[in-house]
Amino acid sequence: MRSIEKAKLAAAYVLERKAEDPVLLEVGKLTSLTDFFLILSCRSTRQVQAVSRHLRERLEEKGIRPLGVEGEREGHWVLLDYGDFVVHIFYEPLRAYYDLEGLWTEAPLVRLE
């Protein structure tokens, strides 16, 4: 499965748990870290944790496992590193504060259906 397909699949899975405002940025030409950032928000820290666990479980069903998971215990900002794509799950006020979309304005936005 290609990177873009995995990232879009992740976006679909987070919506199953009512994640809000998912944005997929193609950052591969701007950094060597990864190809895509999936950025989304949740209304509470518990929802952040639930979305993170749900996403990991659903992707694992497809044989896709994270290389690293950070921040899940606190539930303020969870980072799931899948190598070719990275998922940022924010508690809403922190998404606005850190403004990753603003930091990566040169990254093309990938349309999500």
Residue 1 confidence class, pLDDT cut points 50, 70, 90: confident
Token code pair at residue 35? 């190809």
Q: What is the pLDDT of residues 28-73, one digit of tens each?
A: 999 999 999 999 999 999 999 999 999 999 999 999 999 999 999 9
Q: How far apart are the C-alpha atoms of 72 and 66, rounded to whole Å? A: 13
**Residue 97 domain boundaries:** 3-110
113 has a pLDDT exceeding 80: no
Buried b (16+ CB within 10 A) or exposed e, 62-72: eebebeeeebb
Number of domains in the chain: 1
Token code pair at residue 61? 């069903």
DSSP state for residue 28 in the 8-state scheme: T
Q: Give this prediction's pTM.
A: 0.95
Q: What is the CATH number of the domain that holds 86?
A: 3.30.460.10
The three-state secondary structure class of 8 is helix
